[in-house]
Structure 1
Amino acid sequence: MSRQIRLNGFIGFSPVHLSPGLWAHPRSWGANYKDLDYWVELAKILERGKFDALFIADGIGVHDVYGGSADAAIRSGAQFPKHDPLMLVSALAHETRELGFGITASTSHELPAVLARRFSTLDHFTQGRIGWNIVTGYSDSGAKAVGRDAVIGHDARYDRADEFLEVAYQLWEGSWEDGAVVRDRDTGIFADPSRVHRVRHQGPHFDIDTVHLTEPSPQRTPFLFQAGASSRGRAFAARHAEAVFVGGPTIASVAPGVADIRARAAALGRDPRDIAVFTLATAIAAPTRAEAQAKLADYRRYTDPEGVLALFSGWTGIDFSKFDLDAPLTPGETRDNAVQSVIDSFTGADPDRVWTLREIVTHNGIGGRGPLFVGTPSDIADELEAWVSGADVDGFNLSHAFVPETFADFVDLVVPELQRRGIYKTDYAPGTLRAKLSGSDRLKPNHAGAQFRNLAAQSAA
């Protein structure tokens, strides 16, 4: 059987996610991002297309590196304003039946017991369709929003994230035994106290003594996405992630990182195929190539170059307002605490390609730094298959020019072509998000979190 392609719809809770300026296109719903109907309709489009999840990026900082201020991001609506995606999930779950929800939350800006309760609650409300995109935060702007002077150092924030996950696993997997919830109306016993356990943890970052306040949800631990691409980030992914989100403009820029993640997972005793890898991509589809190119030309008329540079500066920690747009971009310019892989994804993978900042503005202006596929359904299906084969990815986090057109075109035009080729599902598998993606409602036995299931026995020992 052919390898099945996985798809998530990738978006932020803002007027613009990765296509600055496109909120102003006359067919865009971007200005209505704060209306619940916008999100309900998007979720229904994705579910009609049998997407695995709506994957919502988030962060509590504003892109304020470019020009030394947030003005460019604010003017272009580039990931600003930014509402809380966790608030969306209950309503969207009520209006859908199968679509999963991948929600971003930072281990640097949250507390384990508080965030664990939120995800457990949403796992109940979604009947097991919630996933957590684990990030560590990279901007000083986000750090200052929670009272720090600057972002935690790159590797140190992954150390904190490792401990955060250890605490969360104890809460999700170990605090309540299976069968602890009794619900016996005759005796009046709701839960058996002897099977509900306190989590006591003392470590460099967290000192915890509590019971998980939420009874076990369908997945217990939410399905775990992760998006770090640095060496330390890949080590974290190999231990914790069930799906990894990567990004780069070419197959050559993505494939080595994918291979490294799979090799690291195998070294930890995990099946490398237990980690589903999604790469960023955008598809502009139309019945003919000429129509697709006309769409792209129309979209580009609305691109805001300063908004694109505001995002790129924010990701890298470099103020690109001071750079010559036509000078070659060189590797190694990323600030240590920013997203270390961003510059290298352009400068390091293809020795025969020299990128200028102007070219990056054009490339990133529609959908971000992943590839942009433009053409007929057959053209786009060919490209997706080439990436699955060449980069060893399992699927795509599909970005967009604007909502709803990019996603609706993909669902109406490309999905039937993928199904015709036998490389995309015609219906959802039953069960939770984890069951759909991995075949099991619970963490697999060789996952790092599974060791915390017998918390009572460990405490007695």
Structure 2
Amino acid sequence: MSKRIRLNAVTVNGPTVSPGLWAHPDDHAHEFTGLDYWVRLARTLERGRFDAVFFADMLGLYDVYRGNPAPALTGAIQVPIHDPTYLVPAMAEVTEHLGFAVTVSTTYENPYTVARTLSTLDLLTEGRVGWNIVTSNLDSAARLHGHSTQVDVEDRYARGEEFLDVAYGLWERSWGDHAVVIDKAAGVYTDPSQVQGIGHRGTWFSVPGVHTVDPTPQRTPLLFQAGSSETGRQFAAAHAEAVFLNTPTMQATKFIIDDVRQRAEKLGRDPESVLFFPKITPIVGADTADAHKRFQDFLRYSSTDGIFTLLGAWTGIDFAEAGEDKLLGIASKSDTRGLVESLRRQKPGGDWSSDELAQVFAFGTSALTIGGPEDVADELEEFIDFTGADGFNVASVVQPGTIDDFVDHVVPELQKRGRVQTEYVAGTLREKVTGRGPGLPDNHPGRGTNAGVRTS
């Protein structure tokens, strides 16, 4: 039996996913400041039987390219960008099954506040929330949060580990399963014997008390992670239930999937319990010729400055200053090497010219597929079968057109082949995506904090 292909959409609460395409006459992403835009997207994705919408997020400006944020501001490269968590209740209200994975940093947020926010959203959505765990890697974000420089990468991940220990304690250990009794006759809302403080005192955080939100359908939201550096892959192997990959080829995708699953197995986890969702950008036409015509039309709006603004932020390289023979040889920050490592694996022993990079990343850093519905479906099946991935985070080129095309034409083709669900299963986001129960699996480290009053 062919492997199921799970579908998520990936977007940002801002006007641009593909550099420069906000200027295309068919693009309406500038309408992102209104709820109607997001309500429409939510309904479209549920119609396409997507499991979730994945919100990437940034906490600073991209200012490496040309040494200032002007290219990012001019080209709307992840700026303006708004907090995605506030979109979740509105999108949940018009859907029944669609999940919502929001990006939250462990470096610049507080674990108690994050646990409270995500628990609240999990209750409001009846268990449809995921958390994309990031440690953040922008110097501009560090400055905006009151630091002269970034915390170094090892300390960021150490803080991230402790952050998760606190969050797991609040979600998994603070409240018993039967703590909330709502006994009006006895005058007891919550049984205090079923609630305890987590007593955490560590290097980064001191959280002695109780969680202030009662248990939610999932307790811990479905855990996503997106790091592709070696440190990030180890972190994913320990904690992630689902991994978002921003890899431009099948080979680069397979390398990371195999690596993380091997690491997860060494940590005592079922390697197949870690799911992988590479980002894919489809351009769908009536047939191959029509799709390539659309591709050429979109390409006219792609911004080279925008591409190098993105790549500069993600690699630490100012491509305006890099010589053609040194583009990947001058990476200055050891903590942003995931993309650089991926590029080097694609072209061992050689460097990339600026023209090559601009062509490869014209629509972002993901794999690109162009064709009619059957062609795109063929490529997606091949991608899954070769890499061992579990599905895709589907990106748009222009909104809402390219995601509509995918839902209306590619999804039915994949459903006809038995690769994409035709109906949702009941339950929480974790149940829909993993096929397991609503809570963390027993072999997940988050359950290791469960030494208190919880009984299940």
Indicate yes or no: 2:345 matched with 1:371.
no
The match for 2:252 is: 253
Following superposition, the deviation at residue 204 of structure 1 comes to: 1.1
Aligned residue identity for 1:276: L
State the secondary structure of the residue aligned to 2:199.
strand
Aligned residue identity for 1:11: T
The match for 2:440 is: 443
Q: Is the 8 A contact 2:244 2:276 kept in 1?
A: yes
Q: Is the 8 A contact 1:329 1:347 kept in 2?
A: no
Question: Between Structure 1 and Structure 2, how many residues are aligned?
Answer: 454
Following superposition, the deviation at residue 317 of structure 1 comes to: 1.3
Q: Is the 8 A contact 2:21 2:397 kept in 1?
A: yes
Structure 2 gaps of 5+ residues are none
Once residues 335 and 34 of structure 1 are traced to their aligned partners in structure 2, the CA distance between those partners, rounded to angstroms, is 36
What is the correspondence of 1:214-229 to structure 2 with a 5 Å cutoff?
214-229=213-228
The match for 2:107 is: 108
Q: Is the 8 A contact 2:175 2:453 kept in 1?
A: no
The match for 2:261 is: 262
Following superposition, the deviation at residue 146 of structure 1 comes to: 1.0
Once residues 355 and 400 of structure 1 are traced to their aligned partners in structure 2, the CA distance between those partners, rounded to angstroms, is 26
What is the correspondence of 1:137-176 to structure 2 with a 5 Å cutoff?
137-176=136-175
The match for 2:382 is: 386
What is the correspondence of 1:6-21 to structure 2 with a 5 Å cutoff?
6-17=6-17, 19-21=18-20
What is the correspondence of 1:10-159 to structure 2 with a 5 Å cutoff?
10-17=10-17, 19-159=18-158
One of 389, 406, 418 as aligned partner of 1:410: 406
CA change 1:317–1:350 in 2 (3 A) is closer
Q: Is the 8 A contact 1:13 1:82 kept in 2?
A: yes
Once residues 219 and 62 of structure 1 are traced to their aligned partners in structure 2, the CA distance between those partners, rounded to angstroms, is 34
Once residues 219 and 404 of structure 2 are traced to their aligned partners in structure 1, the CA distance between those partners, rounded to angstroms, is 33
Question: What's the CA shift string for 1:270-289, capped at 9, x where partnerless?
Answer: 11111110111100011111
Once residues 214 and 417 of structure 2 are traced to their aligned partners in structure 1, the CA distance between those partners, rounded to angstroms, is 43
Aligned residue identity for 2:78: Q
CA change 1:385–1:328 in 2 (3 A) is farther
The match for 2:270 is: 271
Q: Is the 8 A contact 1:153 1:337 kept in 2?
A: no
Once residues 322 and 457 of structure 1 are traced to their aligned partners in structure 2, the CA distance between those partners, rounded to angstroms, is 57
The match for 1:299 is: 298
Q: Is the 8 A contact 2:172 2:454 kept in 1?
A: no
Q: Is the 8 A contact 1:64 1:141 kept in 2?
A: yes
Moved more, 135-144 or 247-256: 247-256
Once residues 349 and 228 of structure 2 are traced to their aligned partners in structure 1, the CA distance between those partners, rounded to angstroms, is 23
Question: What's the CA shift string for 1:288-342, capped at 9, x where partnerless?
Answer: 1111011111111111211111111011111111134xx2565453333542111
CA change 1:354–1:381 in 2 (3 A) is farther
Following superposition, the deviation at residue 363 of structure 1 comes to: 2.1
Once residues 312 and 201 of structure 1 are traced to their aligned partners in structure 2, the CA distance between those partners, rounded to angstroms, is 39
The match for 2:184 is: 185
CA change 1:80–1:128 in 2 (3 A) is same
TM-score normalised according to structure 1 size: 0.96
Question: What's the CA shift string for 1:135-154, capped at 9, x where partnerless?
Answer: 00001111111111112111
Question: What's the CA shift string for 1:114-161, capped at 9, x where partnerless?
Answer: 100000000001100000000000011111111111121112211111
Once residues 172 and 362 of structure 1 are traced to their aligned partners in structure 2, the CA distance between those partners, rounded to angstroms, is 45
Once residues 219 and 413 of structure 1 are traced to their aligned partners in structure 2, the CA distance between those partners, rounded to angstroms, is 33
Once residues 32 and 455 of structure 1 are traced to their aligned partners in structure 2, the CA distance between those partners, rounded to angstroms, is 47
**Percent identical residues:** 44
Q: Is the 8 A contact 2:51 2:99 kept in 1?
A: yes
Once residues 47 and 123 of structure 2 are traced to their aligned partners in structure 1, the CA distance between those partners, rounded to angstroms, is 23
CA change 1:328–1:428 in 2 (3 A) is farther
Aligned residue identity for 1:190: Y
Once residues 416 and 406 of structure 1 are traced to their aligned partners in structure 2, the CA distance between those partners, rounded to angstroms, is 15
Question: What's the CA shift string for 1:393-451, capped at 9, x where partnerless?
Answer: 11111111121111100001100111111111111111000011122100000000112
Q: Is the 8 A contact 1:266 1:272 kept in 2?
A: yes
Question: What's the CA shift string for 1:362-387, capped at 9, x where partnerless?
Answer: 22121x11211000111111111111
Once residues 340 and 81 of structure 2 are traced to their aligned partners in structure 1, the CA distance between those partners, rounded to angstroms, is 25
Once residues 267 and 25 of structure 2 are traced to their aligned partners in structure 1, the CA distance between those partners, rounded to angstroms, is 51
Following superposition, the deviation at residue 200 of structure 1 comes to: 1.2
Moved more, 204-213 or 216-225: 204-213
Structure 1 gaps of 5+ residues are none
Once residues 282 and 227 of structure 2 are traced to their aligned partners in structure 1, the CA distance between those partners, rounded to angstroms, is 24
The match for 2:236 is: 237
Once residues 366 and 454 of structure 2 are traced to their aligned partners in structure 1, the CA distance between those partners, rounded to angstroms, is 47
CA change 1:457–1:130 in 2 (3 A) is closer
Once residues 3 and 344 of structure 2 are traced to their aligned partners in structure 1, the CA distance between those partners, rounded to angstroms, is 31
CA change 1:33–1:164 in 2 (3 A) is same
Question: What's the CA shift string for 1:29-52, capped at 9, x where partnerless?
Answer: 111111111111011111110111
CA change 1:420–1:350 in 2 (3 A) is farther
Question: What's the CA shift string for 1:237-295, capped at 9, x where partnerless?
Answer: 11110001112221121212111111111112211111110111100011111110111
CA change 1:97–1:329 in 2 (3 A) is farther
Q: What CA RMSD, in Å, does the superposition of the two structures yield over aligned residues?
A: 1.6
Question: What's the CA shift string for 1:144-198, capped at 9, x where partnerless?
Answer: 1111111211122111111100010000000001100001111121100111101
The match for 1:198 is: 197
Q: Is the 8 A contact 1:154 1:336 kept in 2?
A: no
Aligned residue identity for 1:155: E
Q: Is the 8 A contact 1:332 1:343 kept in 2?
A: no
The match for 1:280 is: 279
